[in-house]
Structure 1
Amino acid sequence: MELRRQHLIQELQKKGFYRSSDGRLLNELTLEELEKERIRLPKIFKKPK
């Protein structure tokens, strides 16, 4: 479970996200919260083309 959590953190950081949508650091989030943020963050912060 920790490996999955670390993988999600790394995936989000590669996309340029270091904090959750509510301002917490990614490494403070639970696995469930990280999975939600993985979907939520790119939708909230769409990068202009």
Structure 2
Amino acid sequence: MELRRQVLIKELEQQGFFLSLDSRLLSELTVSELERERVRLPELMEVQYAATEV
């Protein structure tokens, strides 16, 4: 489980994310929270980017 957690943290950090949506450090999150953030953060950034283009 710890290996999965570290892989998720590394994936998010490589995408430029170092905090969760609620501003917690990625290292403070559980595996399930990290998996949720892995989906949410890129989607949120895409929505924000699209909103600035309009």
- TM-score of the superposed pair, with normalisation by structure 2: 0.83
Aligned residue type for 2:31: L
Bigger CA radius of gyration: 2
Kindly report structure 1 stretches of 4+ aligned residues shifted beyond 3 Å.
none
- TM-score of the superposed pair, with normalisation by structure 1: 0.91
Of all paired residues, the percent bearing the same amino acid is 58
Q: CA separation in 2, counterparts of 1:9 and 1:3? A: 10
Relative to its length, the structure with more helix (as a share) is: 2
Q: CA separation in 2, counterparts of 1:3 and 1:12? A: 14
Aligned residue pairs: how many? 48
The 5-angstrom pairing of residues 4-43 of structure 1 reads 4-43=4-43
Q: CA RMSD in A?
A: 1.2
